[in-house]
Structure 1
Amino acid sequence: MALTDEAMAKIKAMIVAGELAPGSRLPKEDVLARQLGLSRNSLREAVRALTAMRILVSRQGDGTYVSSLEPHLLLETLSFAADVSQGRAALQLLQVRRLLEPQATGLAAALLRPHDLKELRDILDRCRSAATVEDFVAHDIAFHLRIAEAVGNPVLSMLLQVLSTRTQRVRIVRGSRIRDALDSAHQDHEDILRALQTRDALLAVSAATVHITAVEQWLATSRVDDPLRPIDG
């Protein structure tokens, strides 16, 4: 095990054991290095890496602290994996999304209030008038996120965002026959909203599953293109 990895493992072990609680300040560098039997250089590298993972947070002039360790905060660091995923890896991420998002959509059917449904209707209206793929994707993300948020589980909401990021969605749509892909997505969105409006959880699950399966199919035959080109370009 590399020295930096060893240092990271030891700090994480302290957190797991409760020796460093969420929000607590790390001991001074020399004290902690001596306590863990590490060099100060190895400790510094470990702290940098754990800060990038959102496990630790650096406060200018005040030291380094353990973060809140909220699961949705830690999941944010995984979004880069979705951004850069290609081929089989990207498909695997979408497969996990297909396992989770339809169930969340079904749960939302009983939880969305009238003003929530109106907001979803407004999002879809803006989605249809999108001039670029970027605009379409922004509204698409807002639509699905608003549904997931109704479940009231921030971990679920963040995980679904991680599984299908803005960058990934732009790549998928751009790699498809754009107009056909968008027409299909608009129809899928309408089917999902109709199921939510009628409080039909099973239909909502089915509509969301069909939609995400179509996205998987687009990805399977995708090619990278200019994400800022007009939709009809």
Structure 2
Amino acid sequence: MAVTDEAIEKIKAMIVSGELGPGDRLPPEKELAERLGLSRNSMREAVKALEVIRVLDVRRGDGTYVTSLEPHLLLEAITFVIDMHDDDSLLELFAVRRMLESQATGLAATHGDAEAIAALQAEIAGVDSGVSIDDLVAHDIRFHREIVQMTGNAYLASLIESLSSQTIRARVWRGLTEQGAVERTLSEHRAIADAIAQHDPALATSLATAHIAGVERWLRQAAQA
């Protein structure tokens, strides 16, 4: 194992064990390096690496702290990787999103409370078939975000959010080029919301799968045209 990797593992072990928690300040570099039996240079490189993936927060003139370790921070690296992919990867991203979000929709039907369901229904009531493409995309993002938040799983919500950001362009393309896309999208959203309101996870999962698969089919056809 490289020395820097060893330093990363030792700092990670301190966090995992609870010796260092969210918001805690790390000991000074020299003290920590001596304590872990590592060189200051390898310790410095380890801190830089952990800062990049949002585990540590280096505050110049103040010290180095453990971040909040919240899911949206820790999953930013995944978002970066996804954003680096080109348009040819959209189908693969949609396939992953379909698998995750369909199950999340089933969980929403199981765990969604009256307040969350009312908010979802209000979101749908706020748009109609005359909505612009830009407003439809904004609605689509809010609609799916509210569903995933009903699961109560912050990691799942952050992961799906990172996937969805890359698929916005595909939603726009579909709205601009496919006849009836607006009406179909809103109709599918209403059906999904109704299944969630009825607390029917099997139906909600099936409808969400079909909803996302419809965009996948359009993308596949567009790529072959």
In the superposition, the TM-score normalised over structure 2's length comes to: 0.79
> Mapping of 1:71-150 within 5 angstroms?
71-87=71-87, 89-128=89-128, 130-133=131-134, 135-150=135-150
**CA contact 2:94–2:167 (8 Å) conserved in 1:** no
| CA-CA distance at 1:3 after TM superposition | 5.6
Q: Is residue 66 of structure 1 aligned with residue 73 of structure 2?
A: no
What's the counterpart of residue 51 of structure 1? 51
> Mapping of 1:163-174 within 5 angstroms?
163-165=163-165, 168-174=166-172
Alpha-carbon distance change, 74 to 80 in structure 1, aligned in 2, over 3 angstroms: same
Structure 1, unmatched stretches of 5+, are: 224-233
Between Structure 1 and Structure 2, the one with more helix by share is 2
Identity of aligned residues (%): 48
Superimposed CA distance per residue, residues 38-64 of structure 1 (whole angstroms, 9 cap, x where no aligned partner): 444443333222122121123454311
Q: Distance in 1 between matches of 2:64 and 2:75?
A: 20
**CA contact 2:137–2:172 (8 Å) conserved in 1:** no
Superimposed CA distance per residue, residues 44-102 of structure 1 (whole angstroms, 9 cap, x where no aligned partner): 33322212212112345431122243445412332222333335644333322222222
Give the aligned length. Answer: 220
| CA-CA distance at 1:177 after TM superposition | 5.7
| CA-CA distance at 1:188 after TM superposition | 1.9
Q: Aligned AA for 2:116?
A: D
3-state SS of 2:203 partner: helix
Q: Aligned AA for 2:78?
A: L
| CA-CA distance at 1:190 after TM superposition | 2.0
Q: C-alpha root-mean-square deviation of aligned residues, in Å?
A: 2.9
Structure 2, unmatched stretches of 5+, are: none
Bigger drift between 107-116 and 204-213 goes to 107-116
Q: Distance in 2 between matches of 1:136 and 1:217?
A: 20
Alpha-carbon distance change, 82 to 62 in structure 1, aligned in 2, over 3 angstroms: same
Q: Aligned AA for 1:95?
A: A
| CA-CA distance at 1:215 after TM superposition | 2.6
3-state SS of 1:64 partner: strand
In the superposition, the TM-score normalised over structure 1's length comes to: 0.77
Q: Aligned AA for 1:84?
A: M
Q: Distance in 2 between matches of 1:67 and 1:191?
A: 40
| CA-CA distance at 1:170 after TM superposition | 2.3
Q: Distance in 1 between matches of 2:122 and 2:111?
A: 18
